[in-house]
Amino acid sequence: MNLRKTSIFSIVLLMGSLLFYLFFAFYDGAVICVDSPSYIGMESSREPLYPALLAFLRWIFKHAQEDFYLEVVVFLQSILAAIAAFMMEEYLRKELNLSKVCAVFILVIPMAVSLLCRFAARRGSMYSNSILTEGITISLYFIFFRFLIEYAIHYTKKSLCMCGLLTLLMLLTRKQMLFALAMLLLAIIYVAIKKRNWRYGIINLLLCCILIPGINIAVDTVYNYAVRKEVATHSSDVRFVATIAFYVAEREDCERIENPELKELFLEIYDICDGQGYLMHSAGQGWNNRVSHFGDYYDCIQIDTMWPAVNRYVEKNYECRQTQVSYYADQVMKEISMDVLPAHIGDVLTVFLDNFWAGAITTVAKRNPILNWYGLFVYLAFAALLILSFLKNISGKIRIMSILTLISIVFNVGLVSIVIFCQTRYTIYNMALFYICLIVMADAILRTRKRQ
Protein backbone atom coordinates (compact mmCIF):
# COMPACT_ATOMS: atom_id res chain seq x y z
CA MET A 1 0.00 0.00 0.00
CA ASN A 2 2.81 2.42 0.86
CA LEU A 3 4.53 1.59 -2.42
CA ARG A 4 1.32 2.31 -4.29
CA LYS A 5 0.89 5.67 -2.50
CA THR A 6 4.47 6.58 -3.32
CA SER A 7 3.92 5.69 -6.96
CA ILE A 8 0.75 7.78 -7.15
CA PHE A 9 2.57 10.68 -5.48
CA SER A 10 5.42 10.40 -8.00
CA ILE A 11 3.00 10.31 -10.93
CA VAL A 12 1.20 13.40 -9.64
CA LEU A 13 4.49 15.29 -9.29
CA LEU A 14 5.66 14.24 -12.76
CA MET A 15 2.37 15.30 -14.33
CA GLY A 16 2.51 18.61 -12.45
CA SER A 17 6.02 19.25 -13.69
CA LEU A 18 5.09 18.41 -17.28
CA LEU A 19 1.95 20.57 -17.18
CA PHE A 20 3.90 23.55 -15.85
CA TYR A 21 6.61 23.55 -18.50
CA LEU A 22 4.36 22.53 -21.39
CA PHE A 23 1.87 25.28 -20.52
CA PHE A 24 4.53 27.92 -21.10
CA ALA A 25 5.74 26.09 -24.20
CA PHE A 26 2.26 26.47 -25.70
CA TYR A 27 1.61 29.91 -24.19
CA ASP A 28 4.85 31.60 -25.30
CA GLY A 29 5.79 29.37 -28.21
CA ALA A 30 9.32 29.38 -29.56
CA VAL A 31 11.05 32.59 -28.49
CA ILE A 32 13.78 33.91 -30.79
CA CYS A 33 16.54 35.69 -28.86
CA VAL A 34 19.52 37.76 -30.00
CA ASP A 35 21.79 34.71 -30.28
CA SER A 36 19.17 32.39 -31.79
CA PRO A 37 19.99 33.12 -35.47
CA SER A 38 23.61 32.03 -34.94
CA TYR A 39 22.40 28.60 -33.80
CA ILE A 40 19.77 28.32 -36.53
CA GLY A 41 22.36 29.44 -39.12
CA MET A 42 24.92 26.90 -37.81
CA GLU A 43 27.64 29.55 -37.50
CA SER A 44 31.19 28.29 -36.97
CA SER A 45 31.44 30.09 -33.62
CA ARG A 46 28.83 27.75 -32.13
CA GLU A 47 29.39 24.30 -30.67
CA PRO A 48 27.85 21.54 -32.79
CA LEU A 49 25.15 19.78 -30.76
CA TYR A 50 22.43 22.44 -30.59
CA PRO A 51 22.70 23.66 -34.22
CA ALA A 52 22.74 19.99 -35.32
CA LEU A 53 19.59 19.32 -33.28
CA LEU A 54 17.86 22.30 -34.89
CA ALA A 55 19.00 21.18 -38.36
CA PHE A 56 17.82 17.62 -37.77
CA LEU A 57 14.36 18.70 -36.66
CA ARG A 58 14.21 21.22 -39.52
CA TRP A 59 14.86 18.33 -41.92
CA ILE A 60 12.33 16.03 -40.21
CA PHE A 61 9.60 18.68 -40.42
CA LYS A 62 10.66 20.20 -43.74
CA HIS A 63 7.17 19.73 -45.20
CA ALA A 64 5.43 21.39 -42.26
CA GLN A 65 4.95 25.12 -41.70
CA GLU A 66 8.25 27.02 -41.98
CA ASP A 67 9.01 27.50 -38.27
CA PHE A 68 7.09 24.50 -36.96
CA TYR A 69 10.31 22.68 -36.11
CA LEU A 70 11.15 25.42 -33.60
CA GLU A 71 7.90 24.71 -31.81
CA VAL A 72 8.94 21.06 -31.67
CA VAL A 73 12.31 22.10 -30.20
CA VAL A 74 10.58 24.08 -27.46
CA PHE A 75 8.21 21.18 -26.79
CA LEU A 76 11.18 18.79 -26.36
CA GLN A 77 13.13 21.29 -24.23
CA SER A 78 10.12 21.72 -21.96
CA ILE A 79 9.74 17.96 -21.50
CA LEU A 80 13.46 17.74 -20.70
CA ALA A 81 13.14 20.52 -18.11
CA ALA A 82 10.15 18.80 -16.50
CA ILE A 83 11.92 15.44 -16.35
CA ALA A 84 15.10 17.01 -14.95
CA ALA A 85 13.21 18.69 -12.10
CA PHE A 86 11.29 15.47 -11.39
CA MET A 87 14.44 13.31 -11.42
CA MET A 88 16.12 15.52 -8.84
CA GLU A 89 13.07 15.53 -6.59
CA GLU A 90 12.62 11.75 -6.81
CA TYR A 91 16.26 11.00 -6.11
CA LEU A 92 16.56 13.36 -3.13
CA ARG A 93 13.23 12.26 -1.62
CA LYS A 94 14.22 8.61 -1.68
CA GLU A 95 17.93 9.04 -0.92
CA LEU A 96 17.43 11.46 1.97
CA ASN A 97 14.07 10.06 3.16
CA LEU A 98 12.43 13.46 2.82
CA SER A 99 8.84 14.27 3.67
CA LYS A 100 6.35 14.75 0.86
CA VAL A 101 6.03 18.43 1.74
CA CYS A 102 9.79 18.90 1.36
CA ALA A 103 9.71 16.93 -1.91
CA VAL A 104 7.07 19.27 -3.32
CA PHE A 105 9.21 22.28 -2.43
CA ILE A 106 12.19 20.69 -4.19
CA LEU A 107 10.12 20.22 -7.35
CA VAL A 108 8.70 23.74 -7.16
CA ILE A 109 12.08 25.48 -6.83
CA PRO A 110 13.20 24.92 -10.46
CA MET A 111 9.76 26.11 -11.55
CA ALA A 112 10.11 29.21 -9.40
CA VAL A 113 13.50 29.94 -10.95
CA SER A 114 11.93 29.60 -14.40
CA LEU A 115 9.14 31.99 -13.41
CA LEU A 116 11.71 34.52 -12.17
CA CYS A 117 13.35 34.38 -15.59
CA ARG A 118 9.98 34.71 -17.29
CA PHE A 119 8.59 37.59 -15.22
CA ALA A 120 10.96 39.19 -12.69
CA ALA A 121 13.90 39.35 -15.13
CA ARG A 122 11.55 40.63 -17.85
CA ARG A 123 12.96 38.24 -20.43
CA GLY A 124 9.50 37.46 -21.75
CA SER A 125 10.28 33.74 -21.80
CA MET A 126 11.74 30.87 -19.85
CA TYR A 127 14.95 29.27 -21.06
CA SER A 128 13.06 26.05 -21.77
CA ASN A 129 11.11 27.77 -24.55
CA SER A 130 13.94 29.92 -25.90
CA ILE A 131 16.01 28.95 -28.92
CA LEU A 132 19.23 29.04 -26.95
CA THR A 133 21.67 26.39 -25.74
CA GLU A 134 20.46 27.12 -22.20
CA GLY A 135 17.22 25.48 -23.31
CA ILE A 136 18.93 22.11 -22.90
CA THR A 137 22.12 22.70 -20.88
CA ILE A 138 20.33 23.95 -17.74
CA SER A 139 18.27 20.75 -17.66
CA LEU A 140 21.23 18.54 -18.58
CA TYR A 141 23.27 20.07 -15.77
CA PHE A 142 20.44 19.42 -13.31
CA ILE A 143 20.39 15.75 -14.32
CA PHE A 144 24.21 15.66 -14.26
CA PHE A 145 24.24 17.00 -10.70
CA ARG A 146 21.72 14.38 -9.59
CA PHE A 147 24.08 11.62 -10.79
CA LEU A 148 27.11 13.48 -9.40
CA ILE A 149 25.54 13.37 -5.92
CA GLU A 150 24.82 9.66 -6.36
CA TYR A 151 28.41 9.00 -7.45
CA ALA A 152 29.87 10.97 -4.53
CA ILE A 153 27.70 9.01 -2.08
CA HIS A 154 27.62 5.49 -3.52
CA TYR A 155 30.61 5.37 -5.95
CA THR A 156 28.57 3.48 -8.57
CA LYS A 157 29.86 2.90 -12.11
CA LYS A 158 26.43 3.72 -13.54
CA SER A 159 26.40 7.21 -12.01
CA LEU A 160 30.01 7.81 -13.11
CA CYS A 161 29.20 6.81 -16.69
CA MET A 162 26.08 8.98 -16.71
CA CYS A 163 28.10 11.96 -15.44
CA GLY A 164 30.68 11.37 -18.18
CA LEU A 165 28.04 11.10 -20.91
CA LEU A 166 26.17 14.21 -19.74
CA THR A 167 29.43 16.17 -19.47
CA LEU A 168 30.24 15.28 -23.08
CA LEU A 169 26.77 16.36 -24.26
CA MET A 170 27.05 19.65 -22.38
CA LEU A 171 30.53 20.38 -23.76
CA LEU A 172 29.22 19.73 -27.27
CA THR A 173 26.56 22.34 -26.53
CA ARG A 174 28.42 25.06 -24.58
CA LYS A 175 32.12 25.37 -23.78
CA GLN A 176 31.10 27.10 -20.54
CA MET A 177 30.20 23.61 -19.34
CA LEU A 178 33.88 22.91 -18.82
CA PHE A 179 33.04 23.63 -15.20
CA ALA A 180 30.92 20.42 -15.24
CA LEU A 181 34.02 18.49 -16.30
CA ALA A 182 35.91 20.10 -13.42
CA MET A 183 33.13 19.01 -11.04
CA LEU A 184 33.33 15.45 -12.34
CA LEU A 185 37.11 15.32 -11.94
CA LEU A 186 36.80 16.67 -8.40
CA ALA A 187 34.20 14.01 -7.55
CA ILE A 188 36.49 11.28 -8.90
CA ILE A 189 39.32 12.52 -6.67
CA TYR A 190 36.96 12.63 -3.67
CA VAL A 191 35.76 9.07 -4.30
CA ALA A 192 39.33 7.81 -4.76
CA ILE A 193 40.23 9.30 -1.37
CA LYS A 194 37.16 7.82 0.31
CA LYS A 195 37.82 4.39 -1.21
CA ARG A 196 41.55 4.74 -0.56
CA ASN A 197 42.13 3.53 -4.06
CA TRP A 198 44.40 5.88 -6.02
CA ARG A 199 44.71 3.46 -8.92
CA TYR A 200 40.94 3.64 -9.37
CA GLY A 201 41.05 7.44 -9.22
CA ILE A 202 43.95 7.85 -11.65
CA ILE A 203 42.40 5.51 -14.22
CA ASN A 204 39.04 7.32 -14.09
CA LEU A 205 40.70 10.73 -14.21
CA LEU A 206 42.72 9.74 -17.28
CA LEU A 207 39.68 8.25 -19.00
CA CYS A 208 37.62 11.42 -18.40
CA CYS A 209 40.47 13.77 -19.36
CA ILE A 210 41.18 11.86 -22.58
CA LEU A 211 37.84 10.48 -23.73
CA ILE A 212 35.53 13.43 -23.04
CA PRO A 213 37.67 16.17 -24.70
CA GLY A 214 38.81 13.72 -27.40
CA ILE A 215 35.29 12.71 -28.42
CA ASN A 216 34.23 16.36 -28.19
CA ILE A 217 36.95 17.42 -30.65
CA ALA A 218 36.19 14.49 -32.98
CA VAL A 219 32.46 15.24 -33.11
CA ASP A 220 33.17 18.96 -33.57
CA THR A 221 35.52 18.22 -36.48
CA VAL A 222 33.12 15.83 -38.21
CA TYR A 223 30.28 18.33 -37.77
CA ASN A 224 32.28 21.18 -39.30
CA TYR A 225 33.39 19.03 -42.19
CA ALA A 226 29.79 17.98 -42.86
CA VAL A 227 28.51 21.57 -42.70
CA ARG A 228 31.45 23.55 -44.15
CA LYS A 229 33.58 20.94 -45.89
CA GLU A 230 36.44 22.07 -43.66
CA VAL A 231 38.46 19.89 -41.28
CA ALA A 232 38.24 22.22 -38.26
CA THR A 233 36.66 22.65 -34.87
CA HIS A 234 34.39 25.56 -33.99
CA SER A 235 36.03 28.98 -33.94
CA SER A 236 36.03 32.32 -32.15
CA ASP A 237 36.69 31.25 -28.55
CA VAL A 238 39.70 33.60 -28.57
CA ARG A 239 37.40 36.60 -28.92
CA PHE A 240 36.47 36.44 -25.23
CA VAL A 241 40.07 36.86 -24.07
CA ALA A 242 40.70 39.50 -26.74
CA THR A 243 37.71 41.50 -25.49
CA ILE A 244 39.21 41.57 -22.01
CA ALA A 245 42.55 42.60 -23.51
CA PHE A 246 41.00 45.62 -25.24
CA TYR A 247 38.90 46.49 -22.19
CA VAL A 248 41.93 46.87 -19.91
CA ALA A 249 44.29 48.27 -22.58
CA GLU A 250 45.76 51.76 -22.94
CA ARG A 251 46.73 53.39 -26.21
CA GLU A 252 50.47 53.05 -25.60
CA ASP A 253 50.04 49.27 -25.50
CA CYS A 254 50.29 49.33 -29.28
CA GLU A 255 54.07 49.53 -28.75
CA ARG A 256 53.97 46.09 -27.16
CA ILE A 257 52.62 44.56 -30.39
CA GLU A 258 55.46 43.31 -32.55
CA ASN A 259 53.60 43.03 -35.86
CA PRO A 260 53.39 46.56 -37.43
CA GLU A 261 50.13 45.78 -39.24
CA LEU A 262 48.54 44.52 -36.05
CA LYS A 263 49.56 47.77 -34.36
CA GLU A 264 47.40 49.64 -36.85
CA LEU A 265 44.53 47.22 -36.31
CA PHE A 266 44.88 47.58 -32.53
CA LEU A 267 44.75 51.38 -32.77
CA GLU A 268 41.76 51.27 -35.12
CA ILE A 269 39.78 49.19 -32.62
CA TYR A 270 41.13 50.95 -29.54
CA ASP A 271 40.36 54.49 -30.76
CA ILE A 272 36.75 53.63 -31.52
CA CYS A 273 36.27 51.93 -28.14
CA ASP A 274 38.04 54.72 -26.26
CA GLY A 275 36.10 57.43 -28.06
CA GLN A 276 32.80 55.76 -27.14
CA GLY A 277 33.78 55.26 -23.49
CA TYR A 278 33.81 51.46 -23.69
CA LEU A 279 37.11 50.87 -21.89
CA MET A 280 37.98 50.27 -18.25
CA HIS A 281 39.43 53.71 -17.56
CA SER A 282 35.99 55.18 -18.35
CA ALA A 283 34.16 53.00 -15.82
CA GLY A 284 34.06 55.42 -12.90
CA GLN A 285 34.62 54.65 -9.24
CA GLY A 286 33.06 51.95 -7.09
CA TRP A 287 32.21 48.29 -7.57
CA ASN A 288 28.72 48.85 -8.92
CA ASN A 289 29.91 51.35 -11.53
CA ARG A 290 32.72 49.07 -12.65
CA VAL A 291 30.51 45.98 -12.96
CA SER A 292 27.73 47.86 -14.75
CA HIS A 293 30.18 49.49 -17.16
CA PHE A 294 31.84 46.18 -18.06
CA GLY A 295 28.49 44.47 -18.67
CA ASP A 296 27.07 47.39 -20.65
CA TYR A 297 29.99 47.72 -23.06
CA TYR A 298 31.35 44.19 -23.37
CA ASP A 299 29.31 43.43 -26.50
CA CYS A 300 30.03 46.90 -27.86
CA ILE A 301 33.74 46.11 -27.80
CA GLN A 302 33.47 42.56 -29.08
CA ILE A 303 30.50 42.35 -31.44
CA ASP A 304 30.16 45.93 -32.66
CA THR A 305 33.82 46.92 -32.94
CA MET A 306 36.54 44.27 -32.59
CA TRP A 307 35.03 41.34 -34.45
CA PRO A 308 34.07 43.26 -37.63
CA ALA A 309 37.43 45.06 -37.72
CA VAL A 310 39.41 41.83 -37.31
CA ASN A 311 37.37 40.09 -40.01
CA ARG A 312 37.94 42.98 -42.41
CA TYR A 313 41.66 42.83 -41.65
CA VAL A 314 41.78 39.08 -42.37
CA GLU A 315 39.81 39.38 -45.59
CA LYS A 316 42.17 42.11 -46.78
CA ASN A 317 45.50 40.56 -45.74
CA TYR A 318 44.98 36.78 -46.01
CA GLU A 319 44.32 34.72 -49.08
CA CYS A 320 41.70 32.41 -47.65
CA ARG A 321 38.25 31.09 -48.29
CA GLN A 322 35.32 32.64 -46.48
CA THR A 323 35.06 29.59 -44.24
CA GLN A 324 38.67 30.17 -43.07
CA VAL A 325 38.19 33.80 -42.01
CA SER A 326 37.24 32.83 -38.45
CA TYR A 327 40.37 30.67 -38.09
CA TYR A 328 42.74 33.46 -39.09
CA ALA A 329 40.74 35.98 -37.05
CA ASP A 330 41.40 33.78 -34.00
CA GLN A 331 45.14 33.89 -34.72
CA VAL A 332 45.09 37.68 -35.01
CA MET A 333 43.13 38.16 -31.76
CA LYS A 334 45.36 35.66 -29.98
CA GLU A 335 48.53 37.52 -31.01
CA ILE A 336 47.16 40.89 -29.87
CA SER A 337 45.99 39.43 -26.56
CA MET A 338 49.33 37.76 -25.81
CA ASP A 339 51.17 41.03 -26.44
CA VAL A 340 48.82 43.25 -24.42
CA LEU A 341 47.58 41.22 -21.45
CA PRO A 342 50.86 40.55 -19.57
CA ALA A 343 51.18 44.27 -18.80
CA HIS A 344 47.66 44.42 -17.30
CA ILE A 345 47.48 41.44 -14.94
CA GLY A 346 46.39 43.71 -12.07
CA ASP A 347 43.55 45.20 -14.13
CA VAL A 348 42.45 41.74 -15.29
CA LEU A 349 42.38 40.59 -11.65
CA THR A 350 40.23 43.60 -10.72
CA VAL A 351 37.78 42.76 -13.52
CA PHE A 352 37.74 39.14 -12.41
CA LEU A 353 37.05 39.90 -8.73
CA ASP A 354 34.37 42.46 -9.61
CA ASN A 355 32.73 39.93 -11.91
CA PHE A 356 33.02 37.11 -9.41
CA TRP A 357 30.97 38.87 -6.75
CA ALA A 358 28.46 39.99 -9.39
CA GLY A 359 28.20 36.37 -10.57
CA ALA A 360 27.76 35.12 -7.01
CA ILE A 361 24.83 37.51 -6.63
CA THR A 362 23.19 36.62 -9.96
CA THR A 363 23.44 32.95 -8.99
CA VAL A 364 20.99 33.53 -6.14
CA ALA A 365 19.15 36.74 -7.08
CA LYS A 366 19.29 39.76 -9.38
CA ARG A 367 21.94 42.43 -9.04
CA ASN A 368 20.57 45.69 -7.64
CA PRO A 369 21.30 47.76 -4.49
CA ILE A 370 18.80 45.87 -2.32
CA LEU A 371 19.33 42.34 -3.63
CA ASN A 372 23.09 42.71 -3.39
CA TRP A 373 22.66 42.73 0.39
CA TYR A 374 20.15 39.90 0.13
CA GLY A 375 22.79 37.89 -1.76
CA LEU A 376 25.27 38.40 1.08
CA PHE A 377 22.62 37.43 3.66
CA VAL A 378 21.53 34.26 1.88
CA TYR A 379 25.13 33.06 1.44
CA LEU A 380 25.71 33.64 5.14
CA ALA A 381 22.51 31.71 5.87
CA PHE A 382 23.73 28.86 3.67
CA ALA A 383 27.10 28.83 5.46
CA ALA A 384 25.38 28.88 8.86
CA LEU A 385 23.16 25.93 7.96
CA LEU A 386 26.14 24.01 6.61
CA ILE A 387 28.08 24.60 9.84
CA LEU A 388 25.04 23.55 11.88
CA SER A 389 24.73 20.42 9.78
CA PHE A 390 28.22 19.44 10.94
CA LEU A 391 27.55 20.40 14.56
CA LYS A 392 24.23 18.54 14.63
CA ASN A 393 25.77 15.61 12.77
CA ILE A 394 22.98 15.45 10.21
CA SER A 395 23.21 13.18 7.19
CA GLY A 396 26.58 13.26 5.45
CA LYS A 397 24.70 12.93 2.16
CA ILE A 398 23.18 16.38 2.68
CA ARG A 399 26.56 17.86 3.51
CA ILE A 400 28.08 16.33 0.37
CA MET A 401 25.30 17.78 -1.80
CA SER A 402 25.60 21.23 -0.22
CA ILE A 403 29.39 21.37 -0.51
CA LEU A 404 29.24 20.20 -4.13
CA THR A 405 26.74 22.98 -4.84
CA LEU A 406 29.01 25.64 -3.33
CA ILE A 407 31.98 24.33 -5.31
CA SER A 408 29.86 24.28 -8.46
CA ILE A 409 28.99 27.95 -7.93
CA VAL A 410 32.67 28.83 -7.45
CA PHE A 411 33.75 26.89 -10.56
CA ASN A 412 31.01 28.27 -12.79
CA VAL A 413 31.22 31.88 -11.64
CA GLY A 414 35.01 31.74 -11.72
CA LEU A 415 35.07 30.44 -15.29
CA VAL A 416 32.53 32.98 -16.52
CA SER A 417 34.24 35.86 -14.69
CA ILE A 418 37.51 35.24 -16.52
CA VAL A 419 36.09 35.80 -19.99
CA ILE A 420 32.71 37.58 -19.92
CA PHE A 421 30.30 39.51 -17.70
CA CYS A 422 28.13 37.52 -15.28
CA GLN A 423 24.58 37.93 -16.46
CA THR A 424 21.94 35.52 -15.13
CA ARG A 425 22.01 33.49 -18.33
CA TYR A 426 25.51 32.28 -17.45
CA THR A 427 25.05 31.78 -13.71
CA ILE A 428 21.56 30.28 -13.48
CA TYR A 429 22.85 26.70 -13.50
CA ASN A 430 23.22 26.58 -9.73
CA MET A 431 20.34 28.80 -8.64
CA ALA A 432 17.80 26.03 -8.08
CA LEU A 433 20.44 23.75 -6.54
CA PHE A 434 21.40 26.47 -4.05
CA TYR A 435 17.85 26.90 -2.75
CA ILE A 436 17.18 23.15 -2.75
CA CYS A 437 20.19 22.72 -0.47
CA LEU A 438 18.91 25.49 1.81
CA ILE A 439 15.55 23.75 2.20
CA VAL A 440 17.02 20.28 2.65
CA MET A 441 19.54 21.46 5.28
CA ALA A 442 16.90 23.47 7.14
CA ASP A 443 14.47 20.53 7.06
CA ALA A 444 17.10 18.10 8.36
CA ILE A 445 18.15 20.42 11.21
CA LEU A 446 14.52 21.02 12.24
CA ARG A 447 13.80 17.28 12.25
CA THR A 448 16.90 16.70 14.37
CA ARG A 449 15.72 19.31 16.93
CA LYS A 450 12.26 17.70 17.10
CA ARG A 451 13.79 14.28 17.79
CA GLN A 452 15.98 15.77 20.52
Q: Is residue 190 in a domain?
A: yes
Rounded (10°) CA dihedral 382, 159, 47, 413: 20
User: Does residue 55 share a domain with residue 113?
Assistant: yes
Final residue belonging to a domain, choices 87, 117, 132: 132
106 shares a domain with 189: no
The band of 323, judged by pLDDT with boundaries at 50, 70 and 90, is low
List % helix, strand, coil for the chain (3-state, nearest 5): 80, 0, 20
Task: Say whether both 105 and 152 belong to one domain.
Answer: no
* pLDDT tens figures, 271-317: 999 999 999 999 989 999 999 999 999 999 999 999 999 999 998 88
Give 259's DSSP letter: S
Count of domains for the chain: 3
Q: Classify each residue of 80-111 as buried b or exposed e, where b means 16 or more C-beta atoms within 10 Å of its C-beta.
A: bbbbbbbbbbbbbbebbebeeebbbbbbbbbb
Residue of 20 and 446 predicted with greater confidence: 20
**Torsion over CA: 387, 391, 396, 398 (sign):** negative
- Rounded to an integer, the average pLDDT of 352-362 is 96
Distances (CA, A) of 313 to 44, 63, 245, 276, 348: 19, 42, 18, 21, 26
pLDDT band with cut points at 50, 70 and 90 for residue 113: very high
How far, CA to CA in Å, does 155 sit from each of 159, 193, 393? 8, 11, 22
DSSP conformation letters of 350-409: HHHHHHHHHHHHHHHS--SHHHHHHHHHHHHHHHHHHHHHHHTT--HHHHHHHHHHHHHH
Q: Mean pLDDT score of the chain, rounded to an integer?
A: 92
State which residues form the domain around 127. 1-132
The pLDDT value recorded for residue 3 is: 56
Q: What is the pTM of this model?
A: 0.94
pLDDT category of residue 110 using cuts at 50, 70 and 90: very high
**Residue 214 scores a pLDDT above 60:** yes
- Residues 119, 147, single domain; the answer is no
| CA–CA dist 19, 5 (Å, integer) | 21
Considering the domain architecture, whether residues 35 and 125 belong to the same structural domain is answered as yes
452: pLDDT strictly greater than 90: no
What is the separation of C-alpha 246 from the centre of its chain, rounded to a whole number of angstroms? Answer: 24
Does 409 reside within a domain? no
Q: Which of 198, 214, 234 is the last residue of a domain?
A: 234
DSSP letter string, 211-233: HHHHHHHHHHHHHHHHHHS----
Residue 348: what residue type? V
Whether 377 maps to a domain, the answer reads no
Q: Is 94 a residue whose pLDDT tops 50?
A: yes
Q: Verify that 1 and 128 share a domain, yes or no.
A: yes
Residue 370 lies in a domain: no
Are 99 and 214 in the same domain?
no
